[in-house]
Structure 1
């Protein structure tokens, strides 16, 4: 029975890893559409979100099947519950990439980003993709150390997000309220994307050890 459970949980984690890849790819292309005002790429990101919805449904179905058919307890139950939480996190990452693409589409043919902040978002996009890749690696390896390291990249994202506000609050800002609102929302989308990747890392730690990162480091 336990062998069957482990095989099914591994299969579930494979789907979660695929979802991480999809979220990272979506954010990469959404960022490209944002920086280049590329409507075709934005439309691709939006239309391909259905793939994330399909994977979310498959992952949830498989997790609930594990609960119903395997009746896991203790550590096994911990693995399934954590997996269900990860499903929600990765699904949200995909939704945040979708939001970025929709901003690019809404502002087309103009660019949504003034040149003063384009570099910030290029770097935030790079970090977001890296976080998605590292979340995938943590899921694959179930290594608590690599899962905890996700927080380091999140710190870099938080720094960029804070610096954005120094640009927006500058008295020489000349791009108006609409651009400031877009930039505020976009910065939040990238920050939340990173936060969900960190949560995946924390859940992997709990899956693997039964402890939080704080408990491990105590």
Structure 2
């Protein structure tokens, strides 16, 4: 029975890695569509989001089944409960990538943000993709070093997010009201994507070290 249980825990980890990989692909395609105004790519991101949702729901069912049948305790219990919470964060990250793609589709053939903000959003997209890729590797390896890197990358995202607000609310801003709405929404989606990755990194680090790392968000 113990061997079966360990196999089930391994399957939980494998499914988390798979979902995370799909999220990384989704954010890469979404940010590319956003920055290049590629409506076809944006629509493919939107259409494919259901796969992330379905895999997350399936993982939740497996985790709940393990809890009911195996009644894990101590670290094993923390693993299963953490998997449920990580699954929810990954599903939300997929939704945020979809939201970014939806903005690109809505504003097509125009780009979502004014020209002077485009370098900022290109960097936001690059960081979100990097964070998502590191997150997949973290779920594979449970490396505390990767967890720390994700938190550091998130700090950069936060700084860029604040710079967007400073820009659109500044006295020199000449964009339309719709530009302010689009820019603040898009910036928030990028920022929240990274926040969810940090939340997952904290859970993984806790499982490895037993220490809960407080991160203010």
Secondary structure of the residue that 2:72 maps to in structure 1?
A: coil
Q: How does 1:129-208 map to 2 (within 5 A)?
A: 129-208=129-208
SS of structure 1 residue aligned to 2:113: coil
2:112 aligned counterpart, secondary structure: coil
2:71 and 2:5 map into 1 onto residues whose CA distance is 10
5+ long unaligned stretches in structure 1: none
Q: Which runs of 5+ in 2 are unaligned?
A: none
**Residue in 1 aligned with 2:125?**
125
RMSD of the alignment, in Å? 1.3
Structure 1: 4+ residue segments shifted above 4 A: none
CA shift, 1:136, in A, is 1.1
Q: Deviations over 1:23-77 (max 9, x none)?
A: 1211111111111211101100000011111211221111112111211011110
The SS at the match of 1:149 is: helix
| 3-state DSSP of counterpart to 2:12 | helix
The superposition leaves residues 66-107 of structure 1 with CA deviations (integer Å, 9 ceiling, x where unpaired) of 111211011110110011000001000000001011111111
- Residues of 1 paired with 2:149 and 2:37: CA distance? 33
Segment drifting more, 155-164 vs 203-212:
203-212
- Tell me, in whole angstroms, the C-alpha distance in 2 between the residues paired with 1:159 and 1:2: 47
With the length of structure 2 as denominator, give the TM-score of the two structures.
0.94
TM-score by structure 1 length? 0.94
Aligned length: 214
- Aligned equivalent of 2:21: 21
Deviations 1:169-196 (A, max 9, x none): 2323222000111100110000000000
